[in-house]
Amino acid sequence: MAKKSPSPIDRRVGARVRMRRLMLGMSQQALARGLGITFQQVQKYEKGTNRISASRLQRMTEIMQVPVSFFFQGLGAPEIKRASAPHYVSDFLATPDGLALTKAFVTIRDSRLRRCIVHLVKATAR
């Protein structure tokens, strides 16, 4: 029997759960405790391996202090997709390094210094 792969929507919602958890500086264990589940289950949700039920998603919104729509941002009608951030942006922000870099970058007040950092990163990425 072929192994079922996660739905793109389940993966996207899971990535948004991970991104918000990291934004809050919350561990998988802390989220799991709030939901009354194991941290392994949170891992499966974040990977999209297991689907998140409506009631569990509602509880996540309470714990993470976001509306349900946060988890579905970037999905839906084409006009909504065009208005939302590109997929790679939310994927980047869902990583600890991406979130740390973004938090540090936005605290730099000098716009010339920010531009220099952007040029440095672009040159390094080549």
Tell me: the pLDDT tens digits for 63-101?
Answer: 999 999 999 887 765 544 544 556 677 778 778 888 888
Q: What pLDDT, on the 0 to 100 scale, is given for residue 1?
A: 64
Q: Check whether residue 115 and residue 68 sit in a common domain.
A: no
d(CA 38, CA 58): 18
Q: Check whether residue 87 and residue 115 sit in a common domain.
A: no
Q: Check whether residue 60 and residue 42 sit in a common domain.
A: yes
| Domain count for the chain | 2
Task: Tell which wins on pLDDT, 124 or 6.
Answer: 124
Q: What pLDDT, on the 0 to 100 scale, is given for residue 52?
A: 95
Residue tagged 């389940």 (tokens) = 10
% of the chain surpassing 70 pLDDT: 88
d(CA 50, CA 46): 8
- pLDDT tens profile 27-38: 999 999 999 999
63: domain CATH number? 1.10.260.40
- 1 belongs to a structural domain: no
Polymer length of the chain: 126
Full domain range(s) for residue 123: 96-126
- 68 belongs to a structural domain: yes
Residue tagged 């920010």 (tokens) = 114
